[in-house]
Chains A and B, each alone.
Chain A
Amino acid sequence: MNFSEIQIIGEDETFKGLKSKYVWLFGGIFVFLCFLAMHYYSTYISFLFPISKGIPYSLISYIVVLSIGPFITLITSFDIVSSEIETGSVRYIISKVHRSSFILGKFFFLFLVFISVSTGIALISLIYQYSEGNAFQLKNIVLFWIFSSLYLGCFISIFLFISTLSVNNKISFTMSMIFLGILVFFFLQGQDNYLKYLTPFFYGVKNMEFMKDFPAGAGYLTVFESLFSMFLYMLVFLSMSLLAIKRRDL
């Protein structure tokens, strides 16, 4: 593993890759969906929240990220490695760089795109909050930014792992959908079930209360705990995909 190699792969994907435009397009669609949800909140979905402390724009956008985010990451990242394996172009790349840097470069490219997407969403919700005359809640926005990037990063690492295992795009897409179904099934098993710890949905939903009001005092520990658990989840799937690419015959 070499950091300059990772940087080269990431830059190549960002500026020259054919996939780049496609990923940015879907990121933009995602931002637009969040914008729509915030814009039409007051007319259509206001019955979801009690209007006592003003409109919780960061909460609305967080719910949109929680529900639509997995599908957007699936669409953008299911064929990131498997299309290269299918066309055979991966052989030319891994003869020049390490296999692990190839995977990490792809991961950082996608992660960068989705970090900028969540930055965009955070900025839009900040502007809305400001224009409504609410108090300037910078803490909530920063928390929203970190949590939604990590949540989307978990899904990126999952789909990257599946894409590394697959031979072609079709298998990768099917298996990603199946895995998403399994995660939803695990999550729907209920709160008193240990299977919920296997899903990123649980960690995402757990963070939703921080969007409402920032915890005072001992709350910092819980914030740190949930950040750490999401980071660990991401790291597990990333290391599994590194293991998979080392053992594969390309």
Chain B
Amino acid sequence: MLIGIVIGLVLFGFFEYLGLDQTYGGIIGALIVGTLIGKTICKGSEKYAFFSIFMYNLIGWILVFLLTSDGKIALQYGGIVLSAFVGVLLIMFFFYSIIGSFVAFVASNLSRNKEDEGL
């Protein structure tokens, strides 16, 4: 799960650096992290994927708010706009996490028996 969060953060930074569209970046990151977690953890990989994707999105956006100039301006503005923005972001995190957990489910079930075939 920790590895998932770290990889997710790296990917998040990468997409932010590339200036890719938010939706595509989030979904591609969720796909990659979900596949990795599904491949490594067999049992209950969906839960781990959900939490790690949620966590890395949260950490990434907090870092964006604290470290960049745009984020500071937004924080100083405050008010209703900011809270609406944060709400939308939370809903998006939730969707990314669900996508990631579904991908983890598929990946874990497709790769579960690769080791068993050799036996």
Contacts and interface: CB of A to CB of B under 8 A. Distances in A.
B5 interface: no
Nearest to A244: B110
B28 to A, nearest CB: 11
A181 B99 CA distance: 9
Contact of B110 (A175, A179, A243): A243
B70 interface: no
Contact of A249 (B95, B99, B112): B112
Interface size class of A (residues with CB under 8 A): 10 to 19
Interface in A184-221: 185, 189, 193-195
Contacts of A45: none
Interface of B, secondary structure class, is helix
Contact of A165 (B23, B24, B95, B106): B106
B102 A195 contact: no
Contacts of B23: 189, 193, 195
A182 B98 contact: yes
Contacts of A195: 23, 27
Contacts of A193: 23
Nearest to B101: A178
B98 A244 contact: no
A249 B110 contact: no
Contact of B113 (A179, A181, A189, A248): A248
B40 interface: no
Nearest to B105: A175
Contacts of B99: 182
B110 to A, nearest CB: 6
A16 interface: no
Interface in A220-250: 243-244, 247-249
Contacts of B114: 247
Nearest to B23: A189
Contacts of A178: 98, 101-102
Nearest to A189: B23
B110 A247 contact: yes
B69 to A, nearest CB: 29
A185 B109 contact: no
Nearest to B109: A165
B109 A182 contact: no
A181 B95 CA distance: 9
A182 B24 CA distance: 14
Interface in B68-119: 95, 98-99, 101-102, 105-106, 109-114, 116
Given A175-B102, A182-B102, A244 B109 contact: yes
Contacts of B101: 178
B102 A185 contact: no
Given A175-B105, A189-B23, A244-B110, 9 more contacts: A165-B106, A178-B101, A178-B102, A181-B98, A182-B95, A185-B95, A195-B23, A243-B110, A247-B111
27 contacts: A165-B105, A165-B106, A165-B109, A165-B110, A166-B109, A175-B105, A178-B101, A178-B102, A179-B102, A181-B98, A182-B95, A182-B98, A182-B102, A185-B95, A189-B23, A193-B23, A194-B24, A195-B23, A195-B27, A243-B110, A244-B109, A247-B113, A247-B114, A248-B109, A248-B112, A248-B113, A249-B113
> Which 3 residue pairs spanning A and B have beta carbons closest together?
A165-B109, A249-B113, A185-B95
